Structure 1
């Protein structure tokens, strides 16, 4: 029996050793992508997903503001509340990531794209096209919301991200950095190819923790910045609302998310997955040969 157990254990080790190998990193610049329909299909998917994301979430914010506005016949306890707004953002991300993950990866956020680029999951060409599509989609989504509810859109701020009264710019920047770190760290962990290779159910469940991360971050940071953690979301709302306050604080919603995404990518790749140490070990092994 002991011998049989030893054989089973050895076979298990061999299985796990062959079970997974890190895929090669995405090329920094892949010119061949530019002639592939799959790239443009993915870019279109990112555009449409971001458009739908902004349309639904901005209308949720405006609807809540209208229903709770006591100066215009609203009820202070009416509407979906901050909890409902957080659910709208998190729920839409869950739905849209689930729908587009197999086409574009379901980024819907330039900070997520930037983090995945730093983790060498996407090429520079794809990352740039995704970011452009996401920003254009956000502008169009906010434009639709404004077209359908122009009066309320102007009155209640158009869902634009702005630093709230009583908070310093440093606090707002810190909130955006930490919030985006949580989101991008969750994305990298939930879509880790090593985990996907060994747990077949993970690709199906990946949108769920990502949506929950967005939901939880909104609960924490809506009172501070209105919650950006997505430069396209902040940019699209600022373009359509186009008021000075929204543009004054706009830099917070770009600098913060990109810093948070970079920290998350470094932490996941070089600390949790020890990519630098693995590369050094591989170099030493090849040198010894």
Structure 2
């Protein structure tokens, strides 16, 4: 018992960070770091696990759009926020679905369900360009199909209630919307990196953590903050799927915001994690 208490007391200081990447201290790491993914990995194309991962991303994004678009439409259909789940309910739907779907698919594809997440992990050399492009295509197709099924079930209501399409709200500039998307996506992708960090798992083994939980909670919190500004994109596939199926001019006017913003946010999160957070990932020599 005393040993466990000591581990908890030492906590984050258990591994003092003193030597930068590239030094001989790499031999002192007490956890296994996967090697950087190659830019191109043609051998993946012959592997069933590669294709299975893309199918998992497709189905997860399909289910994500189906549940969340229906939730958004339900709120808009109600005579008042108090007569529905409101903004908090929408945020819970998005965050809860991400929690469930990441939990279900993490062992198959990594549970990205978002081109911005895939892009950030690609920049950090966590997956190859081949896999990144494949994931993004499957995510977008899944989102289109998910929104399409919602419209197929209730076409009139879908068009009348906006179809869950993202737009910059009246009273906000495109710059405000872009900033909201950048920062919101940064929060999400930064959380993804932190929750799946091999060093963190080794250092904080006394603190049990289920990676999908903080990721889903980050999505929930970002939605609470930015639904009034952009409807919260932070996921280009989600924005694209709703825009294509809704297909009205106002859904396309600001659509670039929901690609540029998330990709910038993801890139910044990847750079911050790799250059700052993970720059000295070694414990001191004994």
Q: Is the alpha carbon distance of 1:145 and 1:32 closer, same or farther for their aligned partners in structure 2, counting shifts above 3 Å?
A: same
1:124 — aligned with what? 129
Structure with the largest fraction of helix? 1
Shift in Å at residue 152 of structure 1?
Answer: 1.1
Of 225, 229, 240, which aligns to 2:230?
225
**Ranges in structure 2 where 5+ consecutive residues have no aligned partner:** 1-13, 16-26
2:138 — aligned with what? 133
Of 27, 35, 60, which aligns to 1:49?
60
Of 265, 268, 274, which aligns to 2:279?
274
Q: Equivalents in 2 of 1:140, 1:206: separation in Å? A: 27
Contact 2:32 2:198 in 1 (8 A): no
SS at match of 2:83: coil
2:130 paired with 1:112:
no
Task: After superposing the two structures, state which structure 1 stretch, 143-152 or 92-101, moved more.
Answer: 143-152
2:192 — aligned with what? 187
Of 48, 55, 59, which aligns to 2:70?
59
Q: Equivalents in 2 of 1:55, 1:212: separation in Å? A: 20
Map 1:7-86; keep pairs closer than 5 Å.
17=28, 19-68=30-79, 75-86=80-91
Paired residues in the alignment total: 259
Could you tell me the TM-score, scaled by structure 2's length? 0.86
Task: After superposing the two structures, state which structure 1 stretch, 145-154 or 197-206, moved more.
Answer: 197-206
**Ranges in structure 1 where 5+ consecutive residues have no aligned partner:** 1-11, 69-74, 279-289
2:176 — aligned with what? 171
Shift in Å at residue 201 of structure 1?
Answer: 8.1
Higher relative contact order (CA 8 A, sep 6+): 2
Shift in Å at residue 172 of structure 1?
Answer: 0.3
Q: Which deviations, in whole Å up to 9, do the C-alpha atoms of 1:183-216 show, x marking residues without a partner? A: 0000001011222345568896100000000000
Q: What is the root-mean-square deviation of aligned Cα atoms in Å?
A: 2.1
Contact 1:195 1:202 in 2 (8 A): no
Larger Rg: 1
Q: Equivalents in 2 of 1:61, 1:184: separation in Å? A: 23
Map 1:246-285; keep pairs closer than 5 Å.
246-274=251-279
Q: Which deviations, in whole Å up to 9, do the C-alpha atoms of 1:221-247 show, x marking residues without a partner? A: 000000000000000000000000111
Runs of 4 or more off by more than 6 Å in structure 1? none
SS at match of 1:164: coil
Contact 1:191 1:203 in 2 (8 A): no
SS at match of 1:250: coil
